[in-house]
Structure 1
Amino acid sequence: MALTSHPVSNSSQGGDGVKQWLGIKYAALQHKFAEAQLCEYTDIKTFDDSNHGLSAISPPNACEHEFGLIQKSLPVTKFSQSDTECLNLNITAPADALHAPSALPVFVFIHGGGFSIGSNAWPQYDQARIVTLSKELGIPVIGVGINYRLGPFGFLTSKELQDHGYSANNGLKDQQVALLWIKKHIALFGGDPNRITCMGESAGAVSTMHQIKLGAGTPSFSQFISLSGSPLMMRPLPSFVANDIYQTVTAILGLQDLSAADRVAALSSMPATELLMKLPPGLPFLPVLDERTIKKDTGFAELALDTKTELPENINMLIGSCDMDASIFGIMLASKQTGCLKRFVEILNEFALPHTSEILRAYHITPEMNDSEAWPLILHFANDIGFHAPASAYASAWKSTAYQYRFREPNPWEGPWKGYATHVLDVAYLFLNYTEDMSKSQAELAVEFATDIIRFINGKAPFQKVEQGSKFVKEYISEDGKTLSRDKEGNDTVWPALFSQAGYDAMSGVWAKFLSS
């Protein structure tokens, strides 16, 4: 089933120096909840590369929603979605990749979107310019962007569904199949299957880190990049929560009085658009703990002990966050602003006594404030525990080579978050698709950021690595950004000691409870 939805571009922005193969089908689906089946190819000539493939089913206007986060739009055209024909990928390579002296390193980008929206066809993810830059630098790379199932089609699960043969975490397993396809087929395009870097942003970064230990298999990549996301930021749901969500969904769809077999059959046969339209926004379709894919949830304390985490010893990592990644919460959770101060203090008292007053003081939160004054300060707390602390924790615990960065460049475009280093802004800079709308120093920073990423993909040190006793963090901010920045964000002199005293997992619990309150 396909439908016309939000618009995207299907044209390369990189000029004549690159070649793009668009909409390559990497897996087939028998139905919308089935497990993905790998597609095999032997000849590059079989690919129709003129148009993007169908995107995964998601709410309408999702691309415009992300443009709202970035606070700047790009030109777009119409495209379509499908529940069964959405598992495709785009490949961007230097035009002469097949004639290069040796096979080229590859990066695979997994888009974010909270596991509910996103597409490899969105113009902000176009990889032509970063691939062009890699060629100009003399260290060329091949880029791949993948689609995977989203929302209920990728992450609805329950014991009932699993008892009837339906797997959990289909969206993550789609990604796993895509990575396997790339390892098996990328040589057809001039890529090196032994030099693959998996890169994700936000929910895509969470996905990338799950892929390291997904199931019992060995990852199909040798290093990874986490842009503003980790399993410590977005914890997998316990199975009982997934069961509750399933019961909510089936009740909304009017299936609760059917037998289990009939209920599963009705859910599977219901048109995808009808199913999605009937469900209210905000249901948490997220990765779930189960016996086959994500087998355990790791907290801060366990990661710090480094005894049971089973961290890989041969996968290099580059990880980082933006100074105000929590801008995503400010937009998605705007309804929680009412009464936020009272709720936040109550939850702090529940999790963080006797440290509540110290935490409030550190974030300049006072009882005399109104909710609108307290809200951005609470988001600073959310940013520290949700993004900065996880990046630092993983960088410190990682057994192989690790690099950590902080994206501090403030958003230059008009909107409520102008002057802050906002969520998704790193992607806007990384793929170089907004440089016409940047100042000279901002565009130069975008090239610097992209260059460091390209160097890492090539197996080179992008900057100083994290080492015991020297936790180096590279900061990205332009000269114009220093002038534009209107807030002292990313101050790491407070939260590490504060969270250590109160307990990182307790602080994480505060924010999790606030989200569910």
Structure 2
Amino acid sequence: MQWHETIAPGEPPITHSEDCLYLNIWAPEGNGPFPVFVWIHGGGFVSGHAFEPMYDGTEFARAGIVLITVGYRLGVFGFLDLGPLLDEKAESEYAGSANNALRDIIMALEWVRENVASFGGDPNRVTIGGESAGAKLTDILMGVPSAQPLFHQMISESGGAERIWTAANSATVANGFGEEWRKSSGKDLPSLKTAPASLIIESQHSFLEQWPQHFPLRAEVDGDLIPRLPIQTIAAGSTRGKRLLIGTNRDESALFIGPHPQSDPAAKDLGNLSLAKFEEVLERYKQIYPEMTEEQLRIRAVTAEEYWIPTVRVADAHLQGGGSAWMYQLDFSETNGRLRGYSYHSLDVGLVWNRPHADAENESAEAALAKQVHQAWVAFIRGDTPAAPGLPEWPAYSTTARPTMIFDTQSRIERKPQDAERRLWDGVL
């Protein structure tokens, strides 16, 4: 079944379909074998596309990499546990359906293992990675035991493995969606199995609008595919011997709460904490950064809660489990528009794909940085230390010195960046 959705005023509608599990492949000329990069798109688990123009793999293919983007089920189709909503027989059949999107990605990786050699790719050199939800799914996959033979390196841009439910949390969300389904559709719960996808999406929209927490649709610890919290599995050695490139942008949450967050409360933008607990943390931020404005403090703290601290936890667990990592932070900021001066969420994507903004005030500086970031990613995917002409030497990450590449107009290495802020979150998440 197909349906249409207008993403933004003035933009043509995008055709959606339940027939969505496809791969897009860009392959270098020649016979290979070439390293493979499998890209998992972002979109908050409810949106995004593997075919977005940004994800044109030509630049990676020219650098000798087989680039593959993958589609997966989104929203309630990929992240809703239907078991609690249906009868006892169906409950067993649909148990763990909140992990359907992860199963889609695993199925894609199995396909890559069996078929990528036909495109010149090396099935023994597969890097998985993504940005935002794609990075979070990458980090969660690091803690999925059955997926480990399918990839050999990971790239995580603005991710973390915190956004995952227990079975009880997942059931609460499922029941909340069930109530909204009955109210908005006028139909009973068993009808979900045969209802038009467009009608289910309408209920999803209204459900997300009224749900009090950010991103209620998430993967879950189901005791099967995900036996326990991924961060625990990673620390126990699930990714032992593998390499990880991981990092965040300095002002991630500016994109969501805007440059004037006092008119846009943070409650709906918290992924892991209650508002009351967050406000306690925010008070401590004022002690660490007395020079910051209220808006800067709130953006900084929401960024840490959703992206930075979960990212650090993944890197630390990966090292504890016997892996190696390279950490980065993007400080390069927007030069015009409402987010001028902020290194906001998704700003890194154009750099990684070597597609900088064409109308930026500092267009030449952004183009130069994009070339460097892209080359560093290519080097990592090839199996080398991430590096590019003009970048300082990038040391491997450790939990003692915490060396971090700061990407900017003049990139640099910092050790223990924002250390007081990091320690503030100890024991909070």
Q: TM-score, normalised by structure 1?
A: 0.69
Q: Which residue of the other structure, out of 268, 275, 283, is the alignment partner of 2:200? A: 275
Q: Given that residues 318 and 403 in structure 1 are in contact (C-alpha distance below 8 angstroms), is that contact kept between their aligned partners in structure 2? A: yes
2:300 aligned partner, one-letter code: H
Partner of 1:325: 252
Q: Given that residues 104 and 190 in structure 1 are in contact (C-alpha distance below 8 angstroms), is that contact kept between their aligned partners in structure 2? A: yes
In the alignment, the residues of structure 2 paired with residue 267 and residue 348 of structure 1 have an alpha-carbon distance, to the nearest angstrom, of 36
Q: Per-residue CA shift, 1:335-383, capped at 9, x if unaligned?
A: 983597xx9998359966xxx75433224399xxxxxx63441121122
Partner of 1:440: 364
Partner of 2:70: 146
Q: Per-residue CA shift, 1:239-290, capped at 9, x if unaligned?
A: 222222222222222289x9xxx95541011101111113313452111221
Partner of 2:420: 497
Q: Which residue of the other structure, out of 461, 472, 491, is the alignment partner of 2:385? A: 461
1:389 aligned partner, one-letter code: I
Q: Given that residues 135 and 157 in structure 2 are in contact (C-alpha distance below 8 angstroms), is that contact kept between their aligned partners in structure 1? A: yes
Query: Is 1:347 paired with 2:276?
Result: yes
Q: Per-residue CA shift, 1:218-244, capped at 9, x if unaligned?
A: 341100100011113xx2122222222
Q: Given that residues 365 and 374 in structure 1 are in contact (C-alpha distance below 8 angstroms), is that contact kept between their aligned partners in structure 2? A: no
Q: Which residue of the other structure, out of 46, 71, 82, is the alignment partner of 1:116? A: 46
Over alpha carbons, which structure has the higher Rg?
1
Partner of 1:426: 348
Q: 1:469 to 1:493 in 2, by over 3 A?
A: closer
Q: Per-residue CA shift, 1:413-468, capped at 9, x if unaligned?
A: x3321221111111111112335335222101101000000000000111321246
2:395 aligned partner, one-letter code: Q
Q: Given that residues 365 and 377 in structure 1 are in contact (C-alpha distance below 8 angstroms), is that contact kept between their aligned partners in structure 2? A: no
Where 2:237 maps in the other structure, the secondary structure is: coil
Partner of 1:401: 324
In the alignment, the residues of structure 2 paired with residue 198 and residue 121 of structure 1 have an alpha-carbon distance, to the nearest angstrom, of 17
Partner of 1:477: 408
Partner of 1:246: 174
1:225 aligned partner, one-letter code: I
Partner of 1:224: 154
Query: Is 1:213 paired with 2:147?
Result: no
Q: Aligned Cα RMSD in Å? A: 3.5
**Counterparts in 2 of 1:152-171, with a 5 A limit?**
152-160=76-84, 161=86, 163-166=91-94, 167-171=97-101
Q: Per-residue CA shift, 1:9-28, capped at 9, x if unaligned?
A: xxxxxxxxxxxxxxxxxxxx
Partner of 1:382: 302
Where 1:254 maps in the other structure, the secondary structure is: helix
Query: Is 1:237 paired with 2:165?
Result: yes
Partner of 2:290: 364
Q: 1:390 to 1:194 in 2, by over 3 A?
A: same
In the alignment, the residues of structure 1 paired with residue 121 and residue 339 of structure 2 have an alpha-carbon distance, to the nearest angstrom, of 39
Q: Which residue of the other structure, out of 221, 225, 229, is the alignment partner of 1:297? A: 229
In the alignment, the residues of structure 2 paired with residue 121 and residue 460 of structure 1 have an alpha-carbon distance, to the nearest angstrom, of 28
Deviation at 1:493, TM superposition (A): 5.4
2:3 aligned partner, one-letter code: L
Deviation at 1:385, TM superposition (A): 3.7
Q: 1:77 to 1:322 in 2, by over 3 A?
A: same
Where 2:182 maps in the other structure, the secondary structure is: coil
Stretches of structure 1 that go unaligned for 5 or more consecutive residues are: 6-59, 66-72, 135-139, 367-372, 483-489, 509-517
1:322 aligned partner, one-letter code: N
Q: TM-score, normalised by structure 2?
A: 0.82
In the alignment, the residues of structure 2 paired with residue 93 and residue 186 of structure 1 have an alpha-carbon distance, to the nearest angstrom, of 10
Deviation at 1:326, TM superposition (A): 1.6
Where 2:170 maps in the other structure, the secondary structure is: helix
In the alignment, the residues of structure 1 paired with residue 67 and residue 286 of structure 2 have an alpha-carbon distance, to the nearest angstrom, of 45
Deviation at 1:325, TM superposition (A): 1.1
